[in-house]
Amino acid sequence: MGSTTAAVPEVALPSGNARPMPAIGMGTSKYPLVHETTRDAVLAAMEVGFRHFDTAALYGSEPPLGEAVAEGVRRGLVASREEVFITSKLWCTRCHPGLVLPSLRESLQKLQVEYVDLYLIHLPVSLKPGPTAFPAKREDAVPFDFEGVWRGMEECHRLGLAKAIGVSNFTTGHLDKILAAATVPPAVNQVEMNPAWQQRKLRAYCAEKGIHVAAYSPLGGQRWSGSGGNAVLESEVLAEIAKARGKSIAQVRTPADR
């Protein structure tokens, strides 16, 4: 059986030794955190041209993603691990200066790789050190040491264990705090972004500071959405555009995608 591959545009990241990031990636989060099918789903995605995979310590998908990457190399779907762009994330219970590097080392072990292409602080939230648990308990929240945690991220970058470093779910106010402390500025801010949640202020700020904004839930998050769950897939405007073009709503591109 033949396979079709599509060329995916790439985004140059400012971090010195980072390779360009494929602009379209595949997410591996699932709730409940059960990953029986993740390895095969990643392999199928690789077969049709995906080269960027998004995981996190929280998702529990690092082991099957790592297995898929190794298997993808064995099967010749990719020539080597270097062809794949892996993003992982630091969970809130590890958002403490001394826990950042050990947490990345654990992720690398689970992924069976020597480095991640991009390492993100998952949320601007620090929880008491402990097991990776979700949802978080409000009483476990502690003040976020922006400077100390970012120093830990920079250490990961300096050691070559994370080719680029960044953040996720950060507002302009949180980014101000990181930038005030940073020697290596964040390369990426991964946030929910879609036609119903366009992040105009954040995008303008990040454009000015040279931070790439990456979108998650481009069709609207179903459980956590700032845009209200079905606002994208049930949008009348998008339905009209899709009908006029003979496409599905999921296939309609908007300025927020660019």
User: Using CB under 6 A as the criterion, which residues of the chain lie in contact with ligand NAP when the complex forms?
Assistant: 27-29, 54, 122, 168-169, 190, 216-219, 221-222, 233, 248, 250
Residue nearest to ligand NAP (CB): 27
21 beta partners: 11
* 250 close to 207: Cβ distance less than 8 angstroms: no
Tokens 């062809």 locate to: 83
Nearest-5° angle of CA 92, CA 97, CA 98? 100
Helix/strand/coil for 45: helix
Least distance from ligand NAP to the Cβ atom of residue 217, Å: 3
Q: From the candidates 31, 59, 115, 119, which is the catalytic residue?
A: 59
Angle at 169 between CA 23 and CA 234, to 5 degrees: 70
Question: In degrees rounded to 5, what are phi and psi of residue 40?
Answer: -70, -35
Q: Check if 59 is active-site.
A: yes
Residue whose CB is less far from ligand NAP, 4 or 183:
4
Q: For ligand NAP, give the closer residue by CB, 15 or 217.
A: 217
Report whether 226 contacts 217 (CB < 8 A).
no
- Measured from the CB of residue 201, what is the shortest distance to ligand NAP in angstroms? 19
Q: How far is the CB of 168 from ligand NAP (least distance, A)?
A: 4
Closest to ligand NAP by CB, 65 or 156: 65
| Cα–Cα dist 162/154, whole Å | 9
**Between 26 and 99, whose beta carbon lies closer to ligand NAP?**
26
Residues with a known catalytic role: 59
